[in-house]
Chain A
Amino acid sequence: SQTIHQWPATLVQPVGSPLSLECTVEGTSNPNLYWYRQAAGRGLQLLFYSVGIGQISSEVPQNLSASRPQDRQFILSSKKLLLSDSGFYLCAWSAAGGPADTQYFGPGTRLTVL
């Protein structure tokens, strides 16, 4: 069966520091991968999605970036965090080659920027 992991679970970082959040998927090949941000426990904002290694689409311009160095690894990064980057970051996957529906979410990373 497929599982999705996110690391770390929680993170407290100072403004201006770098960021690296990791998402890995097991039990499937060539998944579509997604990064969402959820502010204040409500609403999901799609940040990036990827249909393959090295293929990243950005939905919202910002100081975050994403990379997919391996088939089942998706990384969210920032060179300099802003206060507004605080939130709950969710990674999700969906089956390769099919519609984008039926996305399955990871447990999330709670980021607090001070």
Chain B
Amino acid sequence: GQQLNQSPQSMFIQEGEDVSMNCTSSSIFNTWLWYKQDPGEGPVLLIALYKAGELTSNGRLTAQFGITRKDSFLNISASIPSDVGIYFCAGQKSSQGNLIFGKGTKLSVKP
């Protein structure tokens, strides 16, 4: 089935560092979403992107919809301990299609 390649699989960083992660696909997507999941909880929507080239921020988080429509990036600036969790990208190929999720990036932050 259709897959999104999300990388890196995991990250161990120091508090205060910036973080970058991305999702890529061989197919074109019309929508990209980024979610964060805390341990034992459901994913929470962070940022939604609807247009190629779109750059959207949510506090210290910034996400971009790649110009080719085959990728998306999430950056976290000045990481803090509460940024710990699993970050998922999700894409939608058409207005009637279901979401396709990446396998997640597990972020660990050392104080």
Alpha-carbon distance between A30 and B92 when the two chains are bound, in angstroms: 21
Stretch at the interface among B14-22, B40-48, B69-77: B40-48
B101 an interface residue at 8 Å Cβ cutoff?
yes
Q: In the complex, which residues of chain B have a beta carbon less than 8 angstroms from the beta carbon of A6? A: 42
B-side interface residues, number (CB < 8 Å): 25
Task: Check if A101 sits within 8 Å of B31, measured CB to CB.
Answer: yes
Q: Residue-by-residue, is A97-113 near B (CB-CB < 8 Å gives 1, otherwise 0)? A: 01111111111101000
A-side interface residues, number (CB < 8 Å): 23
Query: A43 and B33 in contact (CB under 8 A), knowing A99-B92, A100-B97, A105-B44?
Result: no
Task: Check if A101 sits within 8 Å of B42, measured CB to CB.
Answer: no
Task: Check if A101 sits within 8 Å of B92, measured CB to CB.
Answer: yes
B111 an interface residue at 8 Å Cβ cutoff?
no
Task: Check if B98 sits within 8 Å of A41, measured CB to CB.
Answer: no
Q: In the complex, which residues of chain B have a beta carbon less than 8 angstroms from the beta carbon of A110? A: 40
Task: Check if A42 sits within 8 Å of B86, measured CB to CB.
Answer: yes
Query: A108 and B98 in contact (CB under 8 A), knowing A100-B92, A101-B31, A102-B48?
Result: no
20 A–B pairs (Cβ distance < 8 Å), ordered by A: A6-B42, A41-B86, A42-B103, A42-B106, A90-B42, A90-B43, A99-B97, A100-B92, A100-B96, A100-B99, A101-B33, A102-B33, A102-B45, A103-B45, A104-B45, A106-B42, A108-B40, A108-B41, A108-B42, A110-B40
